[in-house]
Structures are given as structure tokens and as C-alpha cells.
Amino acid sequence: MANLTSLSEILLSRRQKLAELIDFPVVLWSGSTTSRNFPANLFPFRANSHFLYFAGIPQENAVIRLEGSNLQLFMDDPHPSSTLWHGETPSREEIAAKIGADDARPMSELKDFLADAATIAVQDAPTWTQQSQLLDRWILPRQLPQGIDLDLAKAIVSLRIIHDESALMELRKSSAVSIEAHKAGMSATKKAAVEAEIRAAMEAVIMGHNMTTAYASIVTIHGEILHNIHYHHSLQPGDLLLADVGAETESGWAADITRTWPVSGTFSSTQRDIYDIVLAAHDTCIENIAPGMEYRDIHLIAAMVIAEGLVDLGILRGKPEDLVKMDLHALFFPHGIGHLLGLDVHDMEDLGDLAGYEEGRTRSDRFGLGSLRLNRSLQPGMLVTIEPGFYQVPTILNNPKTRNQYQYLVNWERLEQFADVRGIRIEDDVLVTEEGCEVLTATLPTQAEEIESLVS
Ligand code: GLY
Ligand code: MN
Ligand code: MN
């Protein structure tokens, strides 16, 4: 958040905007962490994002109640004995003053303020169980909310999807630190023997800024495993290293960046051919981002550029338009072009597709297109990722059915010549503006030569 004096103003403005959309009270829980292996050894706490949006600080075991512009805070002061282990922590009154709460009460009083209140489920079981018990209805994290809870979810989506100035300030901070992390990863590669050393160099930058990773880092020579979170492989000179690493600020705002670079510092000619296709898809998508543009069409632009590139290389046979209609590009680019970004790396996916899909739209059943996480008309203030890729996924490409079905449309012999390209993705964070767009992560190079010189 901007600074202490303005935090309460930011939060007030968010409450006022919410109050224009709904006419019932709202109660939001921050949630709690869980034990790793015995009660006193805990996983790091991450506050619920809807709570963070309106409370601004990651306070564990806290609840806020919003009604119009009024803000109430419910939390218990730490037990006096906790100072021995945790030192002095701010009191309820101090936290209330910091966030501009009109009133602060112990948790035991929350039950008296829940009449007609809406909420959103928190992910951890003790909290959603408490939510359900206190509100006397099921509040479940993996189900679409109902009634006023659904009205609240829709209202919050409409606010969080368009970032305000203070959100953007935080998002720029997480982008800047993530860019630095990627540069550190590139510089560390020459001396690294295993993936884990590159991950460590990248996450050290994030930790050094007192931030956390916004999601489990992907730092791998097996980029074809889309969410590979193992870091034990040794690095060979002919490998490509795919790093999908993003920072999250203390108040929860995320970045999401991917770069792919050659371990040796130089792309092979086959790696470079495919890299340039993915980069062309990335650049063409970004050139087309503007208010009113359909994000689904941005996805299809990437599909077309990839299909054209693969036809030019002799990997696919046919007209690119026809190949895209048949989802041939999706054999190599099986995911969507990106997603919303904000307090969550896939922003508001705790609400299923409520944020990602405009009302009345549902997922396609087409291969590839069905994985699209965002299907909306773009508006100024939205932050989206653009992340085309090319992957040789064995379970897709070695499937005898696929081989048989596409024996002519894919030149399988030609494809074998690209065996040193397992996975390439290039991902940037793009803010939709009135005029078009701004790439928040633009100062991290994407051109092959620039990447090579950062590695070398
Ligand atoms: N970092 C996960 C993603 O790019 O969606
Ligand atoms: Mn992403
Ligand atoms: Mn990513």
C-alpha cells in the first residue's frame, strides 16, 4: 500500500465503491495458516485476497465488517505470553487505527454483527467451517456462491478487475522485483550445475526485498511439464531453462513473468527458430491489446502466429487458418494465452470463472481454447498476462491416436529435428490503458540476442 497515512483513504474509497453496488453488510475473514508437521511449526500465512483488498494488511485470524463506508475490525489481542516467542505485536486498537476502522472488537462479539451479511469463502478449512457455523449456511471454497454471497462476489469482481492507482503502485513494485529476479537467474546460469541454484538466485532477490513468491516458482529444463516444481535436474549446455517466477508484495500484489534462455548462453538454430515464433506470438498479442478488444481473440492471434510459424518451419502442413480451426496449434500450445493478474496470480480464481468469464460465457470444449482462463472484452485498468508457448509434451505428441489422426498435418520427421526444444514460454504482465496498453514488465528483454547477452 502507498503509505500509512493514505492506507485508510485507499480502503475508504474501495468501501465507498462497493457500497454503490450492494446494499447489505459484508463480512470478510482473513483466514489462518495450518501446521506443517506439529502444532507450533506452521506454513507461512497468506491472507485471503478479498480481505486484503479491503483491509490492506495481512492480519491473521481477523475479520472485517463493511457497511456503507463504515469499517469494523474483529480480532483478538495476542495472549500476553506470546511476546516471549513473537515479541510485541500491534494491538487491535493499533491495527484499527492503521486501517481506518471505525470500531474494533474481540472475535467473540462477531456473532452479534452477522445479520443479513454476505461473505466469500476462505480457502482454509478451519476458517470456512467457522464462516459456515457463524452464518448458519454452507460457505464452501470450491463452490459458486449463492444468493447475497453471489451478489457480493460479482460486486467485488467488478472492483478488483479494474485496478486503482494504489493497486497499480504495488503491482509495479512486484514487477520491478521480479524483473531483477529474472536477470539474477540469467546471470547465475553459467556457474550453476542444477536448476535449484538458479531458483535460489532468483528467489534471493525476491526475499531480499522482503517479498514472497506469488506462486511456486517454475525453474526447469523440462519446460514441457507446464507446472513443473522440481529443481533437481542438472544443467547441460544444450538445454533451455524455462523460469516462471513472480514476486508478491507484503500486501499481496503479484507479478508473473516467464523467460526461457539457453543454459550455454547461445540458442541452437532449432531453439532459435521456435523461440522467435513464440516471441512473434507474444509481440503480436501485445500490439493488439486495447480497450474493447476480446481477450479470446488475442488468444486466437497467438494461435495463428504459432500455426504460421510452424507451417513455415515445415512442422505443420496446411493453411494456418484451417490448422487453427482444427486446434492443431494446440498440440504445441495447449494452454490459454493468459489470465487476470492482481492480488492472486490467477486473479480471483477462488470464484471459479466468475471473474475470468463475462456473464453468459462459458468454457469452450475445444482442445486448447477450453483452457483459456479469461474471456472478456478488455477494459482500461485490467492487468492481464500474455504468455504464449511451445511445448513438446510426450503425453500429447506420443499418443498413438494423435499420431494417427494427424499423420499428414504434422510432419513428424521434421519435428524430430527440433528435439532440443522441450518447452519455451515468454510471459509478460500487460496493463490495458485508455490508449492501448502498457507492459509493466517491459524492461526485462525478450529478444533472443539480448537474452543471450544477459546469460553470457
Ligand atoms: N505462473 C503461472 C502462470 O503463468 O499461469
Ligand atoms: Mn501466468
Ligand atoms: Mn507464469
Q: Please identify, by atom number, the ligand 1 atom nearest to the C-alpha of residue 244.
A: 1
User: Which CATH code fits 165-454?
Assistant: 3.90.230.10
The pLDDT score that the predictor gives to residue 81 is 87
Distance CA(456)–CA(451), nearest Å, equals: 9
Each residue's pLDDT expressed in tens, for the chain with a length of 456 residues: 444 448 999 999 999 999 999 999 999 999 999 999 999 999 999 999 999 999 999 999 999 999 999 999 999 998 888 889 889 999 999 999 999 999 999 999 999 999 999 999 999 999 999 999 999 999 999 899 999 999 999 999 999 999 999 999 999 999 999 999 999 999 999 999 999 999 999 999 999 999 999 999 999 999 999 999 999 999 999 999 999 999 999 999 999 999 999 999 999 999 999 999 999 999 999 999 999 999 999 999 999 999 999 999 999 999 999 999 999 999 999 999 999 999 999 999 999 999 999 999 999 999 999 999 999 999 999 999 999 999 999 999 999 999 999 999 999 999 999 999 999 999 999 999 999 999 999 999 999 999 999 999
Atom of ligand 1 nearest to the CA of 246: 1
Backbone angles phi, psi at 438, to 5 degrees: -130, 125
Of the ligands numbered here, which is closest to the C-alpha atom of 260? 3
Residue burial 187-202, b: 16+ Cβ < 10 Å; e: rest: ebbeebeebebbbbbb
Rounded distance from Cα 145 to ligand 3 centre (Å): 28
Atom of ligand 1 nearest to the CA of 218: 1
Give me the pLDDT at residue 142, please.
87
Q: What is the pLDDT of residue 1?
A: 47
The residue to mutate among 182, 213, 256, 441, having the most atoms of ligand 1 within 8 angstroms of its beta carbon, is: 256
As a whole number of Å, the CA-based R_g of the chain is 24
Ligand 1 center from residue 408 Cα (angstroms):
33
pLDDT of residue 341: 99
Atom 3 of ligand 1, residue of closest alpha carbon: 256
| 246 Cα–ligand 1 center, Å | 9
Cα 185 to ligand 1 centroid, rounded to whole Å: 18
Separation of CA 315 from chain center: 32
Helix 195-208 vs helix 165-189: crossing angle, to nearest 10:
140
Pick the CATH number of 7-160 from 3.40.30.10, 3.40.350.10, 3.40.50.10490, 3.40.250.10: 3.40.350.10
- pLDDT score, position 80: 86
Q: Establish whether domains 7-160 and 165-454 are of one fold.
A: no
**pLDDT the model gives residue 2:** 45
Q: What b/e sequence results for 374-405 when a residue is b if at least 16 CB atoms lie within 10 Å of its CB, and e otherwise?
A: bbbebebbbbbbbbbbbbbbeeebeeeeeeee
pTM over 0.85: yes
Atom of ligand 1 nearest to the CA of 215: 1
Beta strand pairing status for 103-105 and 70-74?
Answer: parallel
User: What are the tens digits of pLDDT across the range 35-81?
Assistant: 999 999 999 999 999 999 999 999 999 999 999 999 999 999 988 88
Query: Whole-angstrom Cα distance, residue 65 to residue 119?
Result: 10
What's the gap in Å between 379 CA and the centre of ligand 2? 19
Alpha helices in 100-214 (DSSP H): 125-135, 147-160, 165-189, 195-208
Using the atom order of ligand 1, give the atom closest to the CA of residue 227.
2
For a mutational test of ligand 1's pocket, the pick from 175, 206, 215, i.e. the residue with the most ligand atoms closer than 8 A to its C-beta, is 215
Q: Which amino acid is at 327?
A: D
- What is the Å distance from ligand 1's center to 112 Cα? 41
**Helix (H) and strand (E) counts in the chain:** 15, 16
Show Cβ contacts of residue 315 under 8 Å, excluding neighbours closer than 6 positions.
410, 411, 414, 415, 418
What residues are in contact with ligand 1 under a 6 Å CB criterion?
215, 244, 256, 339, 345, 387, 427
pLDDT at 82: 87
Q: Whose CA is nearest to atom 4 of ligand 1?
A: 256
**339 CA: nearest ligand 1 atom:** 5
Return the domain boundaries, the chain: 7-160, 165-454
Quote the ligand 2 centre to 120 CA distance (angstroms): 24
Integer Cα distance of 177 and 63 in angstroms: 30
Which ligand is closest to the CA of 429, given by its number? 2
Q: What distance in angstroms lies between residue 427's CA and the mean position of ligand 2's atoms? A: 7
Distance CA 396, CA 390 (A): 13
